[in-house]
Amino acid sequence: MAAQRSRPLTDPASLAALLEEARHTLPGVRLFTDAVDRESYRLDETAYLTAGLPGAVALPSSTDEVAGLLRLASRHRVVVVPRGAGTGLSGGAAGIEGALTIVLTRMDRILEIDRANLCVITQPGVINATLKGAVAAEGLFYAPDPASYETCSIGGNLATNAGGLCCVKYGQTRDSVLGLEVVLADGTVIRTGGRNLKDVAGYSLTHLFVGSQGTLGIITEATLRLRPAPGPRSTLLAFFDTLDAAGDAVAAMTAAGLVPVTLELMDRETVIAVEDWHHLGLDVTAAAMLMVESDAPGAAAAAELDAAEAACVAAAGRSIVRAADAREADWLRQARRLALRALERQGTVRMEDVGVPRARVPELLRAIERIAAAHGVRCATFGHAGDGNLHPNLIFDHDDPDAAELTHRVRDEIFRAALDLGGTVTAEHGIGAARREWLPVQRGEGAVAAMRAIKDALDPQGILNPDRVL
Ligand SMILES: Cc1cc2nc3c(=O)[nH]c(=O)nc-3n(C[C@H](O)[C@H](O)[C@H](O)COP(=O)(O)OP(=O)(O)OC[C@H]3O[C@@H](n4cnc5c(N)ncnc54)[C@H](O)[C@@H]3O)c2cc1C
């Protein structure tokens, strides 16, 4: 289990000096120094990690205040943890002992919806669902759709390059970003792009900061790409007697060139957990369920689902049902979004995030099942099968003294299996604090050295989220 170091990286006197100056020069910044307040910023949603207690928590409300805080942090050599809504699943926003956590949730204004250029300019603390709702009211669509969309922030989505339920068709967060405003470790404010759909001036810094998990700078504004609102969703559910068959159906849909907006998988354990909680009438005897959604316009939606159904039938899918209307479709999607919460009702969940080239989903499913069974560990798998991205969830009793080591071993074997299939140890949640030792294994020492050189150039004192990612 990846424990955080408990020795403070920041000298308490340096933090005290920063706070003293901040109180005078940055009066608008809300500061929490009380231990009870700081405690609520210790963890993100990575329930199995141990994390440090921040020495102080700062909530700025403007770019100037973020820049002021980073200038002070760099002068006093205080370690900084950027934080959005704290829903991350890799420990990226979890506390570092004695450090300053900078929380961006007060920067929660949508600055402009630019209909003429199909983009929106927003601060980082806006919740994903709020942004989606605001642009939908204008007949527009912001695509990135993590299952946590009602609670996670745009800044966190950018910093993790979040995925979600509609990447098959619309890509990850990075595919919807046109430009960023970023505050660097020394307080310098830079802009990396803007409203131009095409812009190749210099290195693509935008894409460097997207997914950098708060290790290279703090995102204080983003220009995000919008699309015209798509058609209402049509939904198909297909149940299978084996995980293999469900995996085969996914591979067949990909090979047939289908691009549904959503292609999600839930295994039996997950279906049972969701059904126990929400009583949707899902088939709990099946080994796996696929959810396929189309947002194609008019008759094209039915045609897309017909093709998906044919692939499911060919892979021995049974009890194939379609949502009666948009309301039922919303219910089903919501059930999928709640899969993690449903599993958390049954124990502590160690959620992993492996990915493989899409045609290899059946092999990955087999490997996960085999590894968990070999170690006698309870594992529920769901995920974005259409992206080749699965979440094996290892469920254990938090008080079991052997669980930490055992689930860690199972995780390592699943990672090795994913890499052997040409995959990744994290498709959307990030390396963060939880998966660091696997970065050189996957990318190689040369690539990690290049990343380190970028980190050293942008943050020479190493104050931004140290010991995360690299
Ligand atoms: C129930 C549930 C479902 C989820 N489903 C999905 C899913 O479908 N797809 C998916 O990708 N993720 C999913 N997640 C994980 C999580 O919601 C995403 O990673 C999300 O993008 C994190 O956003 P946040 O605002 O909570 O960021 P935080 O957890 O606060 O931070 C995440 C990382 O971003 C950095 N950061 C935050 N804000 C900034 C900023 N302004 N500038 C620089 N760095 C910053 C932090 O340092 C940290 O490293 C899920 C989580 C839960 C609990």
Give yes or no: residues 183 and 133 share one domain: yes
Average pLDDT over residues 66-77: 98
- Indicate if 98 and 114 belong to the same structural domain: no
Average pLDDT value over all residues in the chain: 95
Average confidence (pLDDT) over 217-241: 96
pLDDT at 335: 82
Q: Tell me the CATH number at 311.
A: 3.40.462.10
Q: What sign for the dihedral angle of Cα 27, 28, 33, 36? A: positive
Tell which one of 43, 59, 70, 89 to mutate to probe ligand 1, the residue whose CB is within 8 A of the most ligand atoms: 89
Residues 386 and 406 in one domain: yes
Q: How confident is the model at residue 4 (pLDDT cuts 50, 70, 90)?
A: very low
pTM over 0.85: yes
Beta bridge partners of 351: 393
Ligand 1 atom closest to residue 340's alpha carbon, by position in its atom list: 1
How many angstroms separate the Cα of 435 from the Cα of each of 11, 411, 412, 429? Answer: 27, 10, 10, 10
Does residue 2 lie in a domain region?
no
Structure confidence at residue 2 (pLDDT): 41
User: If you write DSSP's letter for every residue of 325-337 in order, what string do you get?
Assistant: SHHHHHHHHHHHH
223 and 321 share a domain? no
- Over residues 398-445, the pLDDT tens digits come to 888 889 899 999 999 999 999 999 999 999 999 999 999 999 999 999
The arithmetic mean of pLDDT across residues 349-376, rounded, is 95
- Report residue 24 as tokens: 């005078």
Identify whether 448 is part of a domain: no
Residues 146-157, mean pLDDT to the nearest whole number = 97
In a domain, 427, yes or no: no
Domain boundary among 187, 208, 228: 228
Are 415 and 383 in a shared domain? yes
In a shared domain, residues 270 and 353: yes
Q: Which DSSP symbol is given to 224?
A: E
**Statement: residue 321 has pLDDT above 80:** yes
User: How many angstroms is it from 230 CA to the middle of ligand 1?
Assistant: 25
87, 182, 349, best to mutate for ligand 1 pocket (most atoms within 8 Å of CB): 87
Within a domain: 465: no
100 and 124 within one domain: no
State mean pLDDT over 134-145: 97
The total number of structural domains in the chain stands at 3
Q: Is 13 exposed, middle or buried (0-12, 13-18, 19+ CB in 10 A)?
A: exposed
Answer whether residue 380 shows pLDDT above 80: yes
Residue count (the chain): 470
CATH of the domain at 80: 3.30.43.10
Q: Is 210 in the pocket of ligand 1 (CB under 6 A)?
A: no
Look at the alpha carbons of 87, 337, 384, 408 in this order and tell me if their dihedral is positive or negative.
positive
- Cβ–Cβ < 8 Å for 67, 88: no
In a domain, 170, yes or no: yes
248 shares its domain with 223: no
Per-residue pLDDT, 328: 85
Q: Looking at residue 11, what is its pLDDT?
A: 93
224 and 146 part of one domain: yes
Q: Which range, of 133-147, 232-246, 324-338, averages the lowest pLDDT?
A: 324-338
CA gyration radius, the chain: 22
What residue numbers bound the domain in which 208 lies?
110-228
| Predicted pLDDT of residue 327 | 83
Ligand 1 atom 45, closest CA: 214
**Domain C-terminal end among 41, 74, 106:** 106
**Is residue 86 in contact with ligand 1, taking CB distance under 6 Å?**
yes
Q: Residue 1 has what pLDDT? A: 38
Residue 92 near ligand 1, beta carbon < 6 Å: yes
Segment (H or E) for 15: helix 12-25
What the block records as the tokens of 325 is 């209307």
